[in-house]
Amino acid sequence: MSEQHISPAAVSTAAGLTPIPGNVDPMTVARPSLVDGVTPREDGRIDLIGLPKKRIAELFEGAGLDVKAAKLRAKQVYHWLYHRGVTEFEAMTDIAKTMRPWLAERFVIGRPEIVEAQHSSDGTRKWLLRTADAHDFEMVFIPDADRGTLCVSSQVGCTLNCRFCHTGTMRLVRNLTVGEIVGQVMLARDSLSEWPKNAEDSRRLAALMDDIGDDDDEEGGYHPSGRLLTNIVMMGMGEPLYNFDNVRDALKLVMDGDGLALSKRRITLSTSGVIPQMERCGEEIGVNLAVSLHAVTKEVRDEIVPVNKKYGIEQLLQACADYPRASNARRITFEYVMLKDKNDSDDDARELVRLLKHYKLPAKVNLIPFNPWPGAPYECSTPERIRSFSEIVFQGGISAPVRTPRGRDIDAACGQLKTAAEKKSRAEIDRLLAEKEAALLG
């Protein structure tokens, strides 16, 4: 989600269309054909980014190496790809010089293409990225005094149509692949020059990982490693739980100590409330959970977050209460966008406190001033209203900071992500939203 969000089955159907699994997604979307997780390229070479060590070893064996050599080379290559961030086989210095051209003839080390990079006056950076089959999506980096957060996309477009979100006015084009998701984090490390340069850097990274043990506060503290990219939020374009398998596999590469080595405590996945996948998320990924709540009554949430018509507030809060590993040290974040005269009354604030307490949720609330976009049907609440709302929630014993909008001048703020290629009239948007809602509830 941007406060938004965005998996595919392993093999495409004969028609090249893949239904996203189960009752959690009503739409069928075109996607590149994958053979055992590998996207074939025109030149016949195979892109290794997105593949786990075991799969790389299988490919090396398939290309002619014996089992033992394939395993050893896969271990080395994996380390260079995901831990050191090299983009050329020639840079893999512990691999024999004669072996490197052999690798380059058969494999590539991919990255999403950067179409455009924008800088906000507040330091926020937004990248417009392009997949190999020419679909655009976005990622955003938000630097703060004590952390740097990368907002990662999981889909091109979105099946959902949260009314305050610009991405919601796009059709879902397709799910991003594992390589395209982990590739965003890798691109950010490239841009920030943050790959470990040597074994000493790697040791410092490992120490940082150890330091953020299971007992630490979820926020971590600022770490003297001085790293710029410290946190990841799956809140870019799309609903990550509708692309569960790919998001999980990408985050495993991000969390692996010999991969990108980022602690799961520094990764947050944001969902609009796709209940059937929430428990799996806790069990199979184990990252922090954020939920786009945005309203406390059925009537208002049905309007703002239409997936509520399928999975209601009570069901959602119960799923949060059941979320594996939620605790006071790892609170669930509830995102609440402040919309003037819609969801921002004192009574709404009191009901929010009541609901979170009723379900005994280890919770914190993020109040997000609405970020307008052209044709948006809402206005942002006044600063006084937001303050009053925040105070009531704080007085109820629940932390409710007001988020400072970031990157508004480059349309990088929450709810603003949407690739420029998709320009529609209001009537077209209304028609699309009605279609998406019918499909969602169908």
Q: How many residues bind ligand SF4 (CB under 6 A)?
A: 18
Judge contact between 4 and 235, C-beta under 8 A. Answer: yes
Q: State the Cα–Cα distance between residues 212 and 344, nearest whole angstrom.
A: 36
Out of 7, 18, 131, 161, the residue judged to bind ligand SF4 by CB under 6 A: 161
Q: Among this protein's residues, is 414 annotated catalytic?
A: yes
* Residue 1 makes contact with ligand SF4 by CB under 6 A: yes
Residue 164 Cβ vs ligand SF4, minimum distance, rounded to whole Å: 7
* Kind of pairing between the strands at 17-19 and 28-30: antiparallel
Tell me the per-residue interface mask from 287 to 306 with ligand SF4, x by CB under 6 A, - otherwise.
Answer: -----x--------------
Out of 24, 77, 81, 160, the residue judged to bind ligand SF4 by CB under 6 A: 160
Residue 348 Cβ vs ligand SF4, minimum distance, rounded to whole Å: 19
> Which of the stretches 114-122, 164-172, 179-187, 220-228 binds ligand SF4 when contact is defined by CB under 6 A?
164-172
- From the list 336, 405, 420, the residue with the least C-alpha distance to 372 is 405
Judge contact between 153 and 6, C-beta under 8 A. Answer: yes
* Residue 407 makes contact with ligand SF4 by CB under 6 A: no
Residue 239 Cβ vs ligand SF4, minimum distance, rounded to whole Å: 4
> Which of the stretches 114-122, 175-183, 237-245, 359-367 binds ligand SF4 when contact is defined by CB under 6 A?
237-245
Closer residue to ligand SF4 (CB): 48 or 417: 417
* Residue 239 makes contact with ligand SF4 by CB under 6 A: yes
Name the burial class of residue 280, with classes exposed (0-12), middle (13-18) and buried (19+) by CB atoms within 10 angstroms of its CB: middle
> Which of the stretches 60-68, 126-134, 161-169, 353-361 binds ligand SF4 when contact is defined by CB under 6 A?
161-169
The catalytically annotated residue of 138, 194, 218, 303 is: 138
Buried b (16+ CB within 10 A) or exposed e, 208-233: bbeebeeeeebbbeebeeebbbbbbb
Binding residues among 6-65 for ligand SF4 as defined by CB under 6 A = 6
Residue 27 Cβ vs ligand SF4, minimum distance, rounded to whole Å: 12
* Sign of the C-alpha dihedral computed for residues 278, 137, 185 and 218 taken in this order: negative
Judge contact between 155 and 243, C-beta under 8 A. Answer: yes
Closer residue to ligand SF4 (CB): 168 or 405: 168
* Residue 371 makes contact with ligand SF4 by CB under 6 A: no
Judge contact between 330 and 362, C-beta under 8 A. Answer: yes
Q: Is 93 helix (H, G, I), strand (E, B) or coil?
A: coil
Judge contact between 305 and 273, C-beta under 8 A. Answer: yes
* Residue 2 makes contact with ligand SF4 by CB under 6 A: yes
Q: What is the largest CA-CA distance in the chain?
A: 71
Out of 168, 179, 259, 282, the residue judged to bind ligand SF4 by CB under 6 A: 168
- The residue assigned the tokens 């692309």 is 243
The catalytically annotated residue of 151, 162, 320, 414 is: 414
* Residue 419 makes contact with ligand SF4 by CB under 6 A: no
Tell me the per-residue interface mask from 183 to 202 with ligand SF4, x by CB under 6 A, - otherwise.
Answer: --------------------
DSSP conformation letters of 342-365: TT-SHHHHHHHHHHHHHTT--EEE
Closer residue to ligand SF4 (CB): 180 or 239: 239
Out of 4, 120, 202, 371, the residue judged to bind ligand SF4 by CB under 6 A: 4
| Token pair belonging to 233 | 């939020």
* Residue 167 makes contact with ligand SF4 by CB under 6 A: yes
Q: State the Cα–Cα distance between residues 316 and 321, nearest whole angstrom.
A: 9
Closer residue to ligand SF4 (CB): 162 or 319: 162
Q: At 63, phi and psi to the nearest 5?
A: -85, 0
Which amino acid, 348? D
- The residue assigned the tokens 């790959």 is 195
Judge contact between 439 and 162, C-beta under 8 A. Answer: no
Closer residue to ligand SF4 (CB): 136 or 239: 239
Q: Among this protein's residues, is 435 annotated catalytic?
A: no
* Residue 139 makes contact with ligand SF4 by CB under 6 A: no
* Kind of pairing between the strands at 363-369 and 288-292: unpaired
Binding site for ligand SF4 (CB under 6 A): 1-6, 158, 160-162, 165, 167-168, 237-239, 272, 292
User: What positions carry a catalytic annotation?
Assistant: 138, 414
